[in-house]
Structure 1
Amino acid sequence: MTLKKRFSLAWLAEQEWLVLLLWFGLTIIVTIREIYAHNINDYTIYKNVFFHVRAQQPLFLAYPEYFDVNNYGPFFSLLIAPFTWLPDAVGGMLWVLVNAAFLWYAIRQLPLSRLQQNIILLFSSHELMGASSYFQFNVSVAACIILSFALILRGKDGWAACFIMIGAFVKIYGIVGCAFFFFSRHKLKFIASLLLWGALFFVLPMLIASPAYIVRCYHDWLTALKVKTEKNAQFDQGIVLQNISAMGFIRRVFHLKPFNDLLVFVPGALLFFSQYIWLKYKQEVHYQFYILCSVLLFTVLFSSSSESPTYIIAFPAVCIWYVLQNPSRANTVFFLFAFVVCSFSQSDIFSPWVRKNIAVPYAIKAFPCLVMWGVIVWQVHVRQFLRLRPVAA
């Protein structure tokens, strides 16, 4: 039975124009709406990272130009620099489109068929729209993780290390790309490349600011991330849009105010690393893809900093898992459930009462992804990946 027969909407994925239209069209529409409404706070934070680094001002304090604070490292100042000299409307739009194009390219590099790639793009387009409405760099974080995986499989370890370090030096998340180390056929080159790119990205911001200032920024960055983590745990004090994670979901559903996140994180980490006991199958492409999916989901589910737009990192994993599966009505039903609940639980498809009283306060967005991650870990341990149909790249 073909992929088209097992999923009645799969024929949409054969329409290249439709995939392109949804991916970039939804992003452009939502970005125009936010720019028109002058709702570009995150982009304002981003562009000021460059100006603050150049002026050697504290990088992680609140400034009157915007709400909230910056949480990205000083290296980010170089990435955002080309956009800062443009009018906000133009710079913001280009910033969003570049991020969207980067993730599009990364998904296209996966060793999957064109139809499978199109399904991933189609069903991830709504998450992309949500992340784009916040001008989020998480889109590029997802791209860095996916692209590093694809490059390692192609033997391009040096470039894979580059994208891992880009993600790590901007938002820490990117370092999870090191989870693909065991798939590398040139491990020493991979390690050396990580060290070289890391050293380069550490010193590059010193082109626009003094070395002493940049070193101090890295120290301040760690302090700022610690403060943010502590703040994210305070959902009972009105901060309900943060910590949309496994910890946040469990804490809120069971009303566990005095709750140590390590009680969830540590078992989760042990389960994640337990998947590596099957490394004898490290050359099996389905096992490799299962680890990719697990990494993308774990990164979001076990971070207290996860917000709704962060799920542009997690949800492509659900789509990748689905296109790999053998035909099954149960798989399709679960995939559609995950798609609706994860991508639309905080949108107008649900009534305001549901959003206000269930979806947001209980971090329901995390639930289908948490179930999906558990399914993947279980399938790895029962070696279900050995019973999947061949990947058609």
Structure 2
Amino acid sequence: MAGRARHSIFVLYLASAVFVTVQQGVVGRSNNFKVFRAAAVNLLAHRDLYAAHPDQHFDFYKYSPTFALLFAPFAALPFAPALLIWSLLNSLLLWYAVRRLLPDRQATLALALVYLEVLFAMQYTQSNGLVTALILLAFLALEQGRQPRATLLIGLDAFIKIFPLGAAALALFHPRRWRFTLLLAAVGAGLALLPLVVIPSHELVAQYRSWLAIEVSDAGRVNRGDSVMQYLHQWVGMDWPNWPLQLAGTLVLLAPIAVNRARWSDRAFRLRFLCSLLLYLVLFNHQSERASFVIAYTGLAIWYAASEPDRVRNAIALAAVIALVLQDVQIVPWAVHDALGQYRVKAIPCLVAWIVMQTELLGWPRLHGPEVRQADIPPPEPLAHR
């Protein structure tokens, strides 16, 4: 039965990538994917990546020059085959990472819970599934004592979207943190300079200046995305800058590491921190959007699947699924659908889950059963041998 469920989930993820390709690459043409492909073409053609290119797409490119270079193979292929490979990369790499992270039944449950978010993320043809998978694989690399691999994965993630650099916090649990920092800096420098294989240095400097300009312009706008800052503004009229709440969220995220040093060697503790980090990266990101929530929902799904079920966790998981379906699946009248979207209801279970995770990480008691299925989680490698 477990093998059949595992196979069914794999087929579902595979078939969904094909469905999205037909929907966004054959019947229609995804503008997001056009932006990525055009960036690779413009880099090789020595054009400003961050200028308007209305003849190519209807948006602005806001990723790194390195990502534009890495996307070149997708630009060389016809639109639909390139989109199929991109969709498979985003769905199946996440499937693989969750499979590596959790025992069989837990992985199947987590992948089932997050499936709809993976599908929606693919329909946006963005990189959020890939971003999530790279964070999970970086966690696994650190657990295996493979710092060079972990730094490469985090570095690649940060050059796709900047905020996954927060995954570097996972290294705090492991020895040789200074070595990790130096390796990450070296990887970052190498990736930043990678476009030099196709453009001269003065042109690369100009690209980074344009990127900085568009990021500064975005930062100057009142933009809260689908973040906690937006909820407080919308619900209670709080009109603060983003940074005080982001700083507070960061301190809350890191507090268990500071006060529970004795639990650093506990893999269950580290796994729960990983889940909390995935939620934090979306909830406190002022540029988070609907497509970003595959990151948060993956954290919620892994946390639920790896923990003993109880009333609190069951209620959160059920609320997450209901909110996701009501907001993103058109099964309710449009007026209700729009209202749910306006108030960003699917993020509410994520925020509640994050608060519960933090109380568990801090060791605060609450009414629940055993915290984690300890017998199902492989024992950590001895820290002294890493």
SS in 2 for 1:75: helix
8 A Cα contact 1:245 1:303, kept in partner? yes
Change (3 A) 1:330 1:187: closer
Are residues 1:295 and 2:285 paired?
Answer: no
Alignment match, 1:7: none
Alignment match, 1:72: 63
Q: For 2:133 and 2:287, how far apart are their aligned partners in 1?
A: 19
8 A Cα contact 2:164 2:281, kept in partner? no
Encode CA deviations 1:249-282: one digit per residue, 9 max, x unaligned: 22122344x4422342222122112121212211
Alignment match, 2:91: 100
8 A Cα contact 2:20 2:87, kept in partner? no
8 A Cα contact 1:300 1:314, kept in partner? yes
8 A Cα contact 2:326 2:337, kept in partner? no
SS in 1 for 2:149: helix
Q: For 2:90 and 2:371, how far apart are their aligned partners in 1?
A: 36
Question: How many residues of Structure 1 are paired with residues of Structure 2 in the alignment?
Answer: 372
Are residues 1:121 and 2:106 paired?
Answer: no
Alignment match, 2:80: 89
Cα deviation for residue 290 of structure 1 reads 1.4
8 A Cα contact 2:20 2:122, kept in partner? yes
Cα deviation for residue 340 of structure 1 reads 2.2
Change (3 A) 1:129 1:387: closer
Cα deviation for residue 194 of structure 1 reads 0.8
Are residues 1:381 and 2:349 paired?
Answer: no
Cα deviation for residue 356 of structure 1 reads 1.2
AA matched with 1:80:
F
Change (3 A) 1:36 1:298: same
Alignment match, 2:37: 47
Q: For 1:12 and 1:338, how far apart are their aligned partners in 2?
A: 24
Q: For 1:175 and 1:57, how far apart are their aligned partners in 2?
A: 28
Alignment match, 1:160: 150
Encode CA deviations 1:14-38: one digit per residue, 9 max, x unaligned: 5122111222222321331122332
5+ residue gaps in structure 1?
Answer: 1-10, 234-241
8 A Cα contact 1:71 1:171, kept in partner? no
Q: For 2:300 and 2:332, how far apart are their aligned partners in 1?
A: 21
Alignment match, 1:32: 22
Encode CA deviations 1:348-384: one digit per residue, 9 max, x unaligned: 1333111212x22122222111111111111111266
8 A Cα contact 1:108 1:117, kept in partner? yes
SS in 2 for 1:350: coil
Alignment match, 2:253: 272
8 A Cα contact 1:152 1:183, kept in partner? no
Change (3 A) 1:204 1:343: farther
SS in 2 for 1:367: helix
Cα deviation for residue 170 of structure 1 reads 2.0
AA matched with 1:333:
A
Cα deviation for residue 332 of structure 1 reads 1.7
What is the 5 A alignment of 1:130-149? Answer: 130-149=120-139
Alignment match, 1:340: 322
> Which of the numbers 285, 288, 307 marks the counterpart of 1:306?
288
SS in 2 for 1:15: helix
Cα deviation for residue 387 of structure 1 reads 4.7
5+ residue gaps in structure 2?
Answer: 379-386
Alignment match, 2:297: 315
> Which of the numbers 193, 202, 217 marks the counterpart of 1:203?
193
Encode CA deviations 1:204-238: one digit per residue, 9 max, x unaligned: 111111111112222322222232344462xxxxx
Q: For 1:216 and 1:49, how far apart are their aligned partners in 2?
A: 15
Cα deviation for residue 157 of structure 1 reads 0.9
Cα deviation for residue 74 of structure 1 reads 0.4
Question: Superposition RMSD on alpha carbons, in Å?
Answer: 2.1
| 163-172 vs 272-281, which moves further | 272-281
Change (3 A) 1:389 1:346: closer
Cα deviation for residue 40 of structure 1 reads 0.8
Q: For 2:82 and 2:93, how far apart are their aligned partners in 1?
A: 16
Alignment match, 1:250: 232
Q: For 2:265 and 2:370, how far apart are their aligned partners in 1?
A: 12
Encode CA deviations 1:268-326: one digit per residue, 9 max, x unaligned: 12211212121221110111011101110111111111111111111111011111222
8 A Cα contact 2:21 2:80, kept in partner? no
Q: State the percentage of identical aligned residues.
A: 26
Change (3 A) 1:344 1:149: farther
Q: For 1:13 and 1:247, how far apart are their aligned partners in 2?
A: 43
8 A Cα contact 2:308 2:372, kept in partner? yes
Change (3 A) 1:231 1:32: farther
Q: For 2:328 and 2:2, how far apart are their aligned partners in 1?
A: 25
AA matched with 2:24:
E
AA matched with 1:283:
S
Change (3 A) 1:136 1:186: same
Cα deviation for residue 346 of structure 1 reads 2.5
Alignment match, 2:381: none
Q: For 2:6 and 2:89, how far apart are their aligned partners in 1?
A: 20
Alignment match, 2:313: 331
